[in-house]
Amino acid sequence: MRVVLIMALKDLRLLVRDRMSLFWVLAFPLLLALFFGSLFGGDSGERAAMPVVVVDESGGEGARLVERLRSSEGLEIDTVDALDDALELVRRGKRIAFVHIRPGFTDGGFAMFGRDPKASATLALGVDPARTAERGLLQGLVTQALFSGMTEQFADPSRMLAQTQQVRKDLDDATELESKQRERLLTLMDALDGLNAADGPLAGDRTSTDAEASRSGFSLEGLLEAVDVTRDDSGQPRSAFDITFPSSIVWGLMGCATAFATSMVHERRAGTLLRLRVAPIARAHVLASKGLACMLAGMGTSALLLTFGVLALGVRVGDPLLLLLALVCASACFTGIMLVMSVIGRTEAAVSGGSWVVMMPLAMIGGGMIPLIAMPPWLLAASHASPFRWAILAIEGAVWRDLSLTQMLPSLSILLALAVVLFGIGVAVMRRRDP
């Protein structure tokens, strides 16, 4: 073990002395995090339909609203029965947002006037903090669906009549109202019944627009509430850098893997590996030292990036122990990748160029550049083959998604499995090339 540690420290010293390698290991990932963090992190651009989950606890009153949301070309709607299930889907990045139709929700125009300003909102919208760019668009689509319900009601005399009759019944039971207030409200109901008469203006034109509805004096204020998705005890909004730093850490791990793969080729060409082979050192010690050095470099890079993020940019770590476990698994995976990349060519230029040719597409499909939730279905399916995907999911789970160990186990298991398989492939190829 002492031999392995000595050789690993030697490799780490060589890495520190190589300024170009340090740029790809530290500076480049940090620049990526700062750049994408300044763009609020995780901005995905346009998408044909945004996946949203709906929880309807209104007792059937929200069924029409759900159907109108389904008919929107900008939304892909799924429904669940429990709010906790919807919240978990958004936290884990499976859906962009959830819409919670709360008990007491009333569909149509009567929900938009006569509200107590202090009353709780009957609709809630929770958006994935990685998708803040879509928040305004989602609010607009939900608002549009609410206004559509109002225009549908005014265009349907039977629904309008049923609503006015219900209001009259409620007025008869409201003994606390003064007689003048009751008379005024009854007069309003009579006027609304008149508008829905056969010769009324609304009966003659059933295609009133949302813009006309919005000028009719009704207000949606207080109906829709934006809620926080993450479990954040500090009461402060999360920084966009919480979203970008997990991917920057993985970029740093990739830089370490590329640097050590190139160094192995250099040592092979310079005869260093041959001298180690003829020394009383086993091949396993040489490979173990390279793997240990790559893992330590990856862990050190991750620690430096996280320290900068926490101290300078307000990045908050949800579970330090789970984060340590995620970093160990991710570093092990990229160590295996390092061994495979070190045998794809016989020169430094071939290995360096080939490494980036292989790793850049994996980074793009794995979430290093394009958010997973913004990908088309075929590309999202392909992302399962990228170690970037599983490393980012594992680190995000410990940094800001507040996942438990059980929820993180799939990502961690895949990273360890990739580490074992890739390490084995690299060792087998090295033995055939250098018997």
Is the model's pLDDT at 313 over the cut of 60?
Answer: yes
Out of 101-105, 141-145, 169-173, 409-413, pick the least confident.
169-173
> Which helix (H) or strand (E) segment is 228 a member of?
none
Crossing angle of helices 405-433 and 320-341, rounded to 10°: 20
Instruction: Tell me how far apart the alpha carbons of residues 231 and 235 are, in angstroms, rounded to a whole number.
Output: 9
115: left (phi > 0), else alpha (psi -120 to 50), else beta? beta
**In the prediction, which pLDDT does 394 show?**
93
Q: Whole-prediction pTM value?
A: 0.58
415 and 327 Cβ atoms separated by less than 8 Å: no
pLDDT, tens digit (0-9, with 9 covering 90-100), for 356-390: 888 888 988 888 877 665 667 788 788 898 999 99
User: Over pLDDT 70: what percentage of the chain?
Assistant: 72
Domain 50-227 classified CATH 3.40.1710? yes
pLDDT, tens digit (0-9, with 9 covering 90-100), for 339-352: 898 888 878 888 88
**In the prediction, which pLDDT does 78 show?**
92
**What residues contact residue 13 under an 8 Å CB cut-off, 6+ apart?**
none
**In the prediction, which pLDDT does 152 show?**
55
Strand 97-101 and strand 123-127: pairing?
antiparallel
**What residues contact residue 155 under an 8 Å CB cut-off, 6+ apart?**
202, 206, 207, 208
Q: 3-class DSSP state for residue 225?
A: strand
Q: Where are the domains of the chain?
A: 2-41+240-433, 50-227
**In the prediction, which pLDDT does 300 show?**
93
Out of 65-79, 191-205, 256-270, 290-304, pick the least confident.
191-205
Scanning 126-240, the segments in alpha helix (DSSP H) are 135-155, 157-173, 179-195, 201-204, 210-214
**What residues contact residue 360 under an 8 Å CB cut-off, 6+ apart?**
none
25 and 301 Cβ atoms separated by less than 8 Å: yes
Is the model's pLDDT at 408 over the cut of 90?
Answer: yes
**What residues contact residue 289 under an 8 Å CB cut-off, 6+ apart?**
3, 4, 5, 6, 7, 8, 11
> Which helix (H) or strand (E) segment is 227 a member of?
strand 224-227
Is the model's pLDDT at 203 over the cut of 50?
Answer: no
Is the model's pLDDT at 7 over the cut of 60?
Answer: yes
Average pLDDT, the chain: 77
Of the candidates 133, 140, 127, the residue with the CA atom closest to the CA atom of residue 51: 127
Higher pLDDT, 365 or 32: 365
Instruction: Tell me how far apart the alpha carbons of residues 151 and 157 are, in angstroms, rounded to a whole number.
Output: 11
18 and 61 Cβ atoms separated by less than 8 Å: no
Q: What value does the mean pLDDT take over residues 100-122?
A: 67
256: its two tokens: 């370490």
Q: What value does the mean pLDDT take over residues 122-138?
A: 80
**In the prediction, which pLDDT does 212 show?**
44
How sure is the predictor about 161, in pLDDT bands with cuts at 50, 70 and 90?
A: low
Instruction: Tell me how far apart the alpha carbons of residues 109 and 202 are, in angstroms, rounded to a whole number.
Output: 14
Q: What value does the mean pLDDT take over residues 225-233?
A: 63
Q: What value does the mean pLDDT take over residues 285-296?
A: 86
How sure is the predictor about 332, in pLDDT bands with cuts at 50, 70 and 90?
A: very high
How sure is the predictor about 94, in pLDDT bands with cuts at 50, 70 and 90?
A: confident
**In the prediction, which pLDDT does 194 show?**
66
**In the prediction, which pLDDT does 411 show?**
95
Is the model's pLDDT at 231 over the cut of 60?
Answer: no
Out of 22-36, 137-151, 207-221, 242-256, pick the least confident.
207-221
Edge-to-edge strand list for the sheet holding 123-127: 75-80, 50-56, 97-101, 123-127, 224-227
How sure is the predictor about 295, in pLDDT bands with cuts at 50, 70 and 90?
A: very high
**What residues contact residue 60 under an 8 Å CB cut-off, 6+ apart?**
none
Crossing angle of helices 283-313 and 241-270, rounded to 10°: 150
**In the prediction, which pLDDT does 198 show?**
47
**In the prediction, which pLDDT does 122 show?**
82
Instruction: Tell me how far apart the alpha carbons of residues 285 and 2 are, in angstroms, rounded to a whole number.
Output: 10
DSSP string of 245-277?
HHHHHHHHHHHHHHHHHHHHHHHHHHTHHHHHH
Q: What value does the mean pLDDT take over residues 141-152?
A: 71
